[in-house]
Structure 1
Amino acid sequence: MSNQHTLNVLFTIDTELWPHSPSWREDRLCDDYARDIQGTTASGDFGIGYQLDTFREHGLKAVFFVESLFASVTGIEHLQQTCRQIIEAGQEVQLHLHPEWVEHGSAPEIAGKGKFLWQFPREEQEVLLRVALENLGRCGVTSPNAFRAGNYGADNDTIRALHDLGIVFDSSYNYPFLGTQCGIETEKWLLQPEDLFGVREVPISFFSDYPGHYRHMQLCACSAAEMEGLLMEAWRRGCHCIVIVSHSFELIRRNRRPAVPNPLVIDRFQKLCRFLTAHGDKFRTVHFSELPERLPTDLGAGIAEPLKSTLGSTAVRLLQQSLNRLK
């Protein structure tokens, strides 16, 4: 491998909230915003503020896919605050959409409901995308060029609708979730960016952790050793990019009342950031706005199989997560 090769890393944060508080309509999601976006706990905040500070400390770039449909239900204030915080930190806001908000009245003209965009016809998907885009526009995000469906629930009609709306990149394809959550259909698995209906599909990276089983590269789903090893393998293979997934609430245990920090995932996050910084000669974190709209057509050439983790790093993850559940 040439020493000149640098692997693009898209460190993506799905930034979203969901109404768990009984009075969420009356208080306009204040408690849910504090928990899911700001990661508020008695020990401090571990949400987007913590993530943004950590990225800045390490000189890394990140992409925040910000769910914006909720603002049609409870008002624009929390969305404006979220976008402003991300933009002022020098990071990128892109489009994210959870259609579950339809049942709460985010788009009155749509009667159906569902967790996945593929449960809606193409025309209704486009309506939802337009509403979400308009909400981001009201927050100063006027030209997003990338999208990720909530729950990875896009299908081929979603991609066509994105093309009609001028969105250049989609990052909803998640191979381990095909047939259950993700409805994008392709002739073969996507390992690197490829053109789909005029949109560049940038797949979420995944790997084989044991024969016949695949796992996506999400912070709470992989050990630090797994992620570091997979990044090195991708660099050695000459991959164009790796897409890592996390969430605004991933560093806390939000199912606890009140929420508490999740030390295991916080440690993974810190280790991954340190690793990317220490190996800046091999990896560069990027925003979608830095990727050329017309990527080379042979990005996947010679990359026929998914990445593979080592037995040792996977065993470490299984042990860590088993112990973490006991805490």
Structure 2
Amino acid sequence: MQTKVIITIDTEVRSRNRDLPDPFDRDVLGRLQGNNYGACWIADLIKNHGFTGVFFLDVHGCAKYGENRYRELCERLLNGGHSVQLHTHPDQMYDPQRRHMHEYSLAEQKAIIREGMVLLKDWTGKVPLAHRAGRYGANEDTLKALETNGIYLDSSFFYGRADCKLPFGNSNDPFKAHGVWEVPVTVAAEPITKLGFRFPFWTRLLWKRYQKLDVNCMDAKQLCRSVMEVYGKVPYLITFLHSFSFVQRRPTGFVTDDAAIEAFQSLLRLLAEKNIPVTTLDKIAGELVGNP
């Protein structure tokens, strides 16, 4: 089976940094010590390897951080050949006490998605074709709300994640539910950790959990190994990072996450060296749902 890789970047302000003077500057643009390590830098890294990425943009921060900044970011990403799709963190614009989509009614979710689509259409000139719920916090009503609004691709399902309330079994394969194609966040088995001790890698045959292919969750070696283990077994392989993946907040201040940068660069080199095809969700829409 030929596997196509989809590089996804959740582009957002993280909740614990909303106390900063300019969290958009830090978490979305990744500005640190005169350099940029955020969405635009990530976009350039991807493009320099001949690939395109899918930037899931949390539109609901625009009321706090300025709509023009989101518009400019969209233009920058689109000019680089990348895809911008809908990401929903409803607590940013709606109820701060309800952080996940599954905490909202079907009617509320329909409105949240509809309003997000209007914003993205205004900024990009395009209707979004795909969605991911913030913190993977979707439920079946989320899929129903997407279908009602004409979005037929979702990538919120994360097997084993407590925040994710989609009641489906362990599968990295795409599947259809409530009229929407779900392209799961790809997971790989990894050893469990007990009392601070991480068991050797081979022990995942006996005791394991599932982890997404995330530059902040796996080092370079494990990430590349996990990609190759899944490669050839599924039609689409989803890799993951955030716009803020390369900037760490510590008690003494912010620093670059050099291990995450190395993991991402190693992943891009692996894909290039092995000529693994990289695509975007809007490009596979025709394959799955018949929409261009």
CA separation of 1:10 and 1:147: change in aligned 2, threshold 3 A: same
Query: Deviation at 1:49?
Result: 1.9
Aligned with residue 213 of structure 1, among 201, 209, 214:
209
**1:194 aligned onto 2:175:** yes
**1:244 aligned onto 2:236:** no
Residue identity matched to 1:156? E
Contact 1:9 1:242 in 2 (8 A): yes
TM-score, length-normalised on structure 1?
Answer: 0.78
Query: Deviation at 1:212?
Result: 3.4
Aligned with residue 260 of structure 1, among 255, 261, 272:
255
Q: 3-state DSSP class of the match of 2:277?
A: strand
Contact 1:112 1:120 in 2 (8 A): no
Question: What do residues 267-306 of structure 1 show as CA deviations (whole Å, max 9, x unaligned)?
Answer: 11111111111111xx21101111144539xxxxxxxxxx
Query: Deviation at 1:41?
Result: 0.9
Query: Deviation at 1:254?
Result: 3.4
Aligned residue in 2 for 1:227? 223
Contact 1:40 1:259 in 2 (8 A): no
Aligned residue in 2 for 1:286? 279
Show the 5 A alignment for 1:83-102.
83-101=74-92
CA separation of 1:240 and 1:22: change in aligned 2, threshold 3 A: closer
Question: What do residues 101-145 of structure 1 show as CA deviations (whole Å, max 9, x unaligned)?
Answer: 1xxxx35xxx68411110111100111111111111221242211
Residue identity matched to 1:235? Y
Aligned residue in 1 for 2:112? 128
Counterparts of 2:282 and 2:19, CA distance in 1: 39
CA separation of 1:192 and 1:168: change in aligned 2, threshold 3 A: same
The runs of 5 or more residues in structure 2 that have no matched partner are 191-203
The size of the alignment, in residue pairs, is 273
Deviates more, 1:39-48 or 1:62-71: 39-48
**1:183 aligned onto 2:165:** yes
Deviates more, 1:271-280 or 1:256-265: 256-265
Query: Deviation at 1:34?
Result: 1.2
Query: Deviation at 1:73?
Result: 4.0
Show the 5 A alignment for 1:93-112.
93-101=84-92, 106-107=93-94
Residue identity matched to 1:277? A
Contact 2:28 2:244 in 1 (8 A): yes
Aligned residue in 1 for 2:158? 174
Residue identity matched to 2:5? V
Counterparts of 2:242 and 2:20, CA distance in 1: 24
Counterparts of 1:70 and 1:128, CA distance in 2: 13
Aligned with residue 128 of structure 2, among 144, 153, 163:
144
**1:277 aligned onto 2:268:** no
Identity rate, percent: 26
Counterparts of 2:260 and 2:124, CA distance in 1: 32
Q: 3-state DSSP class of the match of 1:138?
A: helix
Q: 3-state DSSP class of the match of 1:51?
A: helix
Question: What do residues 199-256 of structure 1 show as CA deviations (whole Å, max 9, x unaligned)?
Answer: 000000111112232211111101222222222222343x211111100000111345
Residue identity matched to 1:295? L
Query: Deviation at 1:48?
Result: 1.3
Query: Deviation at 1:21?
Result: 5.5
Contact 2:223 2:263 in 1 (8 A): no
Counterparts of 1:112 and 1:248, CA distance in 2: 22
Contact 1:36 1:254 in 2 (8 A): no
TM-score, length-normalised on structure 2?
Answer: 0.87
Query: Deviation at 1:57?
Result: 1.1
Contact 1:35 1:254 in 2 (8 A): no
Residue identity matched to 1:175? Y
Residue identity matched to 2:49? H
Contact 2:129 2:285 in 1 (8 A): no
